[in-house]
Structure 1
Amino acid sequence: MSKKTWVLVADAAKARLFELPQKEANLIEIACYAHPDSRTPGQHPAHGRLPRAQESNGPARHAIEPRTTLRVKHQDQFAAILSDVMRRGRLERRYDQLVLIAPPRFLGVLHKHLDEQTLACVVDEVGNDFLKLSTTDLRTRIWQDGVAAPNAASVAS
């Protein structure tokens, strides 16, 4: 029996989800996600600058730097959304294997949100931004790099 593979190609603001039903098959795009807030410059949306604090002695005011920028928070939210999609797909048995393709930084954020069972389904990862590639170019690149061989044995520990 052939194993179904999902291929998630993402960056911090956009993601495309493909299904690879069998070896040597074409990629089938099953979903596309966008999170436009992740592309914002990271400033407060209401007034475009950091909040200010009044100096206790004198007229000076200083910007208050947040611990986490809005951009990082939005990327984190998007990774949580994508990980929920992956978890639900696993629970519904829509895939057996998972391939993650994203820039290294976002791949790390995504890892933080994936549960253990979903991480166990990950058979390969690529730390590149392939989001702008066409489906045909993506398929060629995946097979060229030896990624996502759906009928290959799963990675065992």
Structure 2
Amino acid sequence: METCVIVANNARARIFVSHNIYKHLSEQEDFVHSEARLSNRELASDAAGKSRDPHGSYDPATSPTAHEAESFALLLTRRLKELHNERHFEQLILIAPPAFLGLLRKNLRKPLDKLIQRSIDKDLTTAGIEELLDYLRD
């Protein structure tokens, strides 16, 4: 049975596929989301708009960096949907820091959400394949 392992954070994602995730991983794709490394000030194109509120200007409900993280999570879940539609995997393992793991889970739609075999809440985007295999074996 083919398993897809996605190792991600808000700035990078790596997608692996394997028939035996305890012995071998093959990296299929590597995504870099450089916007995630920018500050809120660099991402915001304009100053916040003015309102009639005497306490100051209007602040958006979501910060630009949080919006970028959500956009990247959505892009990744769409890619996973494409891979699943092409019949590249039957099981899914998510590895990401807790906040980004939540974004991935939030954006996974049926039937992908039912394929999640396991989640690991840790940032392993810079880990080598052997280190990833060690985490998967535990």
Assess same fold via TM > 0.5: yes
Matching of residues 28-67 of structure 1 within 5 Å? 28-43=26-41, 45=43, 50-51=47-48, 53=50, 62-67=56-61
**Structure 2 CA distance for partners of 1:24 and 1:44, relative to 1, 3 Å:** closer
Amino acid across the alignment from 1:91: N
Offset of 1:17 from its aligned partner?
0.5
Between the aligned partners of 1:100 and 1:45, the Cα distance in structure 2 is 28
Offset of 1:24 from its aligned partner?
4.0
Structure 2 equivalent of residue 123 of structure 1 = 117
Amino acid across the alignment from 2:83: G
CA contact 2:23–2:133 (8 Å) conserved in 1: no
CA RMSD in angstroms, aligned pairs only: 2.3
Counterpart check, 1:71 vs 2:68: no
Percent identity over the alignment is: 26
Note the alpha carbon deviations across 1:6-62, whole angstroms, 9 max, x for none. Answer: 100000110001111235431110100111112221125466x742638799xxx94
Between the aligned partners of 2:52 and 2:85, the Cα distance in structure 1 is 54
**Structure 2 CA distance for partners of 1:73 and 1:22, relative to 1, 3 Å:** same
Bigger CA radius of gyration: 1
Structure 2 equivalent of residue 14 of structure 1 = 12
Give structure 1 stretches of 5+ with no counterpart: 146-157
Between the aligned partners of 2:126 and 2:38, the Cα distance in structure 1 is 19
TM-score (norm 2): 0.88
TM-score (norm 1): 0.78
CA contact 1:52–1:62 (8 Å) conserved in 2: no
Give structure 2 stretches of 5+ with no counterpart: none
Structure 1 equivalent of residue 23 of structure 2 = 25
